[in-house]
Amino acid sequence: MQDEPAVELQLYLDEAETLHALLEDFLESGEQDPRLERSYRLLGWRILAARGGTGLTGRVAGLAREADSLEEYEAARENMLGPVLDGLERGENRDP
């Protein structure tokens, strides 16, 4: 994807969160498109950077703001939180 032209997009936070939720629903319905998966992850990264927070969320939001790429953010997040994220991201631990 690095060789493709880039498109910059500005959304209000609530618009981005709505789009992110729709992508999540679509992906959870069984869609197996790696481009949609990456778009979902990219949007989640930028939402977190914009939203901020306190405690654990604030620490992860700080990583999101400092990262120059999705891959850099995900590597830093994994390095900082490691196994904690694995437990938090399991389906049974998500809010309904």
Range of the domain at 50: 13-83
Q: CA 74 to CA 64: how far, in whole Å?
A: 8
User: Domain total for the chain?
Assistant: 1
Asked if the structure places residue 94 within a domain, the reply is no
What confidence tier does 32 reach under pLDDT thresholds 50, 70, 90? confident
Asked if the structure places residue 96 within a domain, the reply is no
Asked if the structure places residue 89 within a domain, the reply is no
Neighbouring residues of 67: CB distance < 8 A, sequence distance ≥ 6:
45, 73, 76
pLDDT tens digits, 36-88: 999 999 999 999 999 988 998 999 999 999 999 999 999 999 898 887 767 77
**For the residues 25-31, what does the mean pLDDT come to?**
90
Asked if the structure places residue 35 within a domain, the reply is yes
Asked if the structure places residue 66 within a domain, the reply is yes
Asked if the structure places residue 92 within a domain, the reply is no
pLDDT of residue 13: 96
pLDDT of residue 83: 75
Q: How many CB atoms lie within 10 A of CB 64?
A: 23
